[in-house]
Amino acid sequence: MASEASFAFVQFEFGFALGPADGRYLTQPVTEGGSRLVIVLRTLGAPQRRLLGRRRPRAVQRVDPEPVPTSRASVIGAEPFESNDAADEWLGKLRADEDALRPAVERAAGDLNRVIRVHRAVAADPYARDVSPDGALTVRVGYGRGEQVADGRFAVAYEVPRRDPRRRRVERLSPQEHLAAVLAGREEVLACEEIVLRARADIEAGRSREAALQARIALECVLSELAGRLPGEALAELAGDRETVSAAGNAALEADPPEHLEPAVEAAVGRMEAAIRRHRLSPPGEASAR
């Protein structure tokens, strides 16, 4: 990156280790019309290495909070602005238009998740998880000189406000009620709930092939586990997705499914999610008693 040129960036900070080693990662565009990016990972505030790897347990008299790593990830455009005026104009438009700001932040999170996904596969690390802007300690959008931005600094930046977490009271309380019911043994967590979540995560990350494969398994699991727990018409609607989801899943065994099937897979996953919500919105214990 040229030292005097200015580059756009979206910067995240998370209160946990991301997985990939610190460093700079140059990514090539994955879609036509995309652009190259430089993704810079830095770990801040990590525990001292001399405290790690102790061989024997040691007695403790008091418990103090343990230092935790903070990860900073900067997603930087590889192409510089023509001038600082152009950079100011770009940033000003984002700051003034939330409909443009949010997608820009979410795209940057998707680009970061691409690095994490590759790390997860090549390092055989199943616990390296995807991230989302809502899970970040802070999100910044701005611009700065090449080396400046790569070092986590900037010329101009704004912190992105958190989304309003307010939801209907029933939506806030229901998960807690069901959590208590599951832990008390009055309910169970269904396998389909976890598999549908994985399908949704793949969709949100743009992993169409994995989403199609997960959706095929998820649909059969939903139909099996929710049989007798949902009305017949709801199950029939889900069964109506079998042909399309199976076609997408079969295609995904070889490559990305055809583009025209991707919206159908997402719609099917949405119906699965709605069916699970309907099941979960029953009073705790009632669903498992049916």
pTM equals 0.80
pLDDT value at position 286? Answer: 54
Three-class secondary structure of residue 288 per DSSP: helix
Mean pLDDT, range 68-92, rounded to an integer: 91
Amino acid at 208: S
The verdict on 263 and 282 lying in the same domain is yes
Residue at 1 is within a domain: no
Last residue of a domain, one of 106, 125, 159: 159
- Based on the domain organization, do 154 and 17 belong to the same domain? yes
Which residue range forms the structural domain that includes residue 228? 169-289
Q: What is the pLDDT of residues 247-287, one digit of tens each?
A: 999 999 999 999 999 999 999 999 999 999 888 776 555 55
Please report, rounded to a whole number, the percentage of residues in the chain having pLDDT higher than 70. 87
For residues 195 and 222, what is the distance between their CA atoms, to the nearest angstrom?
A: 9
Q: Is 128 a domain residue?
A: yes
Taking only the tens place, the pLDDT of each residue in 49-67 is 555 556 677 777 777 777 7
Amino acid at 219: L
Judged by DSSP in three states, 59 sits in: coil
Alpha-carbon gap, residue 29 to 181, rounded angstroms: 46
What's the average model confidence in pLDDT over 225-243? 91
Count of domains for the chain: 2
Task: Examine the domain organization and report whether 79 and 188 are in the same domain.
Answer: no
What CA–CA distance (Å, rounded) separates 172 from 179? 12
- Of 76, 83, 86, nearest in space to 152 by CA: 76
